[in-house]
């Protein structure tokens, strides 16, 4: 029995599907089995028309296509080409079991592009289960970014049949293309960056403390919370922070493109990290993902390797804020449903912005706060201590003054972030400082004697939790990296302590 390989989604990961066909005696019929969706059942008519348009005559037999494993739900129009080829080449003697085949068929036999092919093939490449694949010709330029796969582009069903009949002599349609952005190399790993600053810190006047905290947050990927009066620049700084984040490895750029494709957005392949900013009225399912039959990725998963920004933080529902604690701590989100259990990576930098009180004027020197003490307390109580304990940097924004001036640009801040990133990588550190494990903290977060004394004093005075102590050490490590210091000094710990929640 002959077979061709294809794939389908389970969550955001691809699962290999074996496409098999048999032609047996019986009343002429055409059926596709194997827990198929409506889109695959509809493909029967497209496949019939495409085959008949290319002078193929259906034999007077019972044609059965099996998509296995049978307990895996299959979905997508990209199965069309593999199904048609298994019928057309059923009598051929060659073995096609090493070939992955993807493509939607037109009624005339043309092979059409499917935007979801990119994340599907990238997932298969990450699993190292695919070496060569037949794909639509118009998808070649995009797919050529994926490493370690030979792609063969076809424009129609006839070309695909000819390719498999001469599989021993065909050559790949296109060579793999590199990411065309500046990079530097450390330990044979390339880190790509771009100096495109669509939103620039040169637009932000004053707010020196907040800009310094944004620099530390970017360099170490530390979660940060901005608190201040309306219009003081909280959202403005948050949106600009995205462009000064550390450079990206090639696999991170490909993952960002994969997430863009899952949203049906044309992938850009830029070393720009994603930024997701859901509205405070968003539902639990839209933020974390879900669905009754098929678990879909949510905002938390789409922010992987990028930024998750919650503006008007206390207005988000209590369920969302408490559920956010798990991905902030474990960098993964788990979705359990009756029909599926899915786990997504969600390694993101969290940015929160909030007013000091419901009316927003509590910290304003010129406007009077209209809130009662009870209203302010209720507003503050929307954020629990366990949630706030996962915030590394807490920043109280300054009042806006007429004589505030521009002090720094995004290009200058980004240069400092890159220098700190190189300094950390040369130390042999794989993760960002905010993501260091307990063992890594002992190895890389080395304090000098004075810094130890200051931290011990802070522990006894403020009764810090174990998580808070570790966060202070990690923030201190980032500040030391910005100063190109091998050890964490007293000044670094003091600055890290200045950002702790009061």
Domain chopping of the chain, boundaries = 3-165, 186-435
**Distance in angstroms between the alpha carbons of the first and the last residue of the chain:** 70
The pLDDT, as a whole number, for residue 292 is 58
State both tokens at 450.
């004075």
The pLDDT, as a whole number, for residue 393 is 96
pLDDT digits (tens, 9 = 90+) for 257-267: 888 888 878 78
- Average pLDDT of the segment spanning 493-497: 96
State both tokens at 389.
């304990």
- Average pLDDT of the segment spanning 356-381: 91
For 66-178, where are the alpha helices, taking DSSP H only?
Answer: 80-88, 117-126, 140-143, 157-165
Whether 128 has a pLDDT exceeding 90, the answer reads: no
What CATH architecture is 3-165?
A: 2-Layer Sandwich (3.30)
Whether 281 has a pLDDT exceeding 80, the answer reads: yes
What is the model's pTM? 0.87
The pLDDT, as a whole number, for residue 448 is 94
Q: In the structure, what pLDDT confidence band is assigned to residue 3 with cuts at 50, 70 and 90?
A: confident
Cα–Cα distances in Å, from 204 out to 208, 220, 354, 374?
9, 22, 18, 34
Beta pairing class for 332-336 and 29-33: unpaired
pLDDT digits (tens, 9 = 90+) for 132-180: 999 999 999 888 888 889 999 999 999 999 999 888 888 888 877 778 8
For 171-324, where are the alpha helices, taking DSSP H only?
Answer: 208-220, 234-241, 250-262, 284-288, 299-302, 318-323
Q: In the structure, what pLDDT confidence band is assigned to residue 99 with cuts at 50, 70 and 90?
A: very high
Of residues 11 and 167, the one with the higher pLDDT is 167
Q: How far is CA 282 from the centre of its chain?
A: 19
Question: Are 302 and 282 within 8 A, CB to CB?
Answer: no
The pLDDT, as a whole number, for residue 365 is 82
Contacts of 234 (CB under 8 A, 6+ apart): 226, 227, 228, 311, 353, 354, 397
CA distance 194 to 357: 39
Angle at 88 between CA 83 and CA 92, to 5 degrees: 115
Q: Which CATH code fits 186-435? A: 3.40.50.300
Contacts of 419 (CB under 8 A, 6+ apart): 482, 484
The pLDDT, as a whole number, for residue 402 is 77
Max Cα distance, the chain (Å): 89
Q: In the structure, what pLDDT confidence band is assigned to residue 57 with cuts at 50, 70 and 90?
A: confident
pLDDT digits (tens, 9 = 90+) for 295-315: 678 899 999 999 999 999 999
Of residues 336 and 271, the one with the higher pLDDT is 271
CA distance 6 to 86: 12
The pLDDT, as a whole number, for residue 9 is 85
Give me the phi and psi of 202, to 5 degrees please: -65, -15
The pLDDT, as a whole number, for residue 176 is 75
């Amino acid at each position: 029995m002959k077979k061709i390989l294809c794939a389908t989604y389970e969550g955001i990961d691809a699962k290999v599907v074996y496409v098999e066909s048999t032609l047996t005696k019986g009343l002429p019929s055409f059926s596709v089995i194997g827990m198929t969706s409506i889109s695959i059942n509809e493909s029967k008519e497209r496949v019939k028309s495409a085959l008949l348009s290319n002078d193929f005559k259906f034999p007077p037999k019972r044609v059965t296509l099996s998509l296995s494993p049978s307990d895996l739900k299959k979905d997508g129009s990209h199965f069309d080409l593999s199904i048609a080829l298994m019928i057309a080449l059923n009598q051929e003697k060659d073995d096609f079991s090493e070939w992955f085949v993807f493509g939607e068929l037109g009624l005339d036999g043309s092979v059409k592009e499917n935007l979801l092919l990119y994340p599907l093939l990238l997932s298969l490449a990450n699993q190292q289960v695919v070496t060569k694949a037949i794909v639509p010709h118009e998808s070649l330029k995009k797919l050529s970014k994926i490493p370690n796969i030979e792609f063969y582009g076809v424009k129609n069903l006839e070309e695909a049949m000819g390719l498999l009949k001469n599989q021993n002599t065909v050559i790949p349609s296109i060579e793999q293309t590199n990411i065309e952005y500046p990079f530097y190399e450390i330990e044979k790993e390339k880190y790509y960056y771009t100096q495109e600053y669509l939103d620039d810190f040169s637009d932000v006047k004053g707010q020196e403390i907040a800009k310094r905290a944004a620099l530390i947050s970017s360099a170490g990927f530390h979660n940060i919370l901005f608190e201040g009066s309306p219009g003081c620049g909280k959202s403005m700084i948050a949106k600009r922070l995205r462009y000064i984040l550390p450079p990206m490895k090639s696999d991170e750029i490909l993952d960002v493109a994969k997430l863009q494709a899952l949203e049906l957005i044309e992938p850009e392949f830029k070393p720009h990290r994603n930024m997701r900013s859901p509205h405070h009225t968003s539902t639990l399912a839209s933020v974390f993902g879900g669905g009754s039959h098929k678990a879909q990725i949510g905002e938390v998963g789409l922010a992987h390797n990028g930024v998750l920004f919650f503006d008007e933080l206390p207005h988000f529902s209590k369920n969302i804020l408490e559920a956010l604690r798990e991905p902030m701590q474990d960098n993964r989100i788990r979705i359990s449903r009756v029909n599926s259990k899915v786990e997504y990576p969600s390694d993101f930098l969290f940015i929160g912005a909030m007013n000091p009180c419901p009316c927003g004027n509590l910290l304003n020197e010129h406007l009077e706060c209209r809130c009662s003490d009870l209203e302010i307390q209720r507003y503050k109580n929307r954020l629990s201590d366990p949630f706030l304990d996962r915030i590394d940097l807490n920043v109280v924004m300054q009042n806006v003054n007429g004589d505030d001036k521009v002090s720094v640009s995004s290009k200058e801040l980004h240069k400092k972030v890159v220098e700190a990133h190189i300094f950390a990588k040369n130390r042999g550190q794989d993760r960002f400082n905010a993501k260091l494990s307990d063992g890594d903290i002992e190895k890389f977060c080395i304090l000098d004697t004075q810094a130890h004394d200051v931290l011990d004093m802070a522990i006894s005075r403020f009764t810090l939790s174990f998580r808070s102590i570790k966060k202070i050490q990690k923030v201190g490590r980032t500040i030391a990296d910005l100063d190109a210091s091998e050890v964490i000094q007293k000044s670094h710990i003091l600055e890290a302590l200045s950002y702790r929640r009061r």
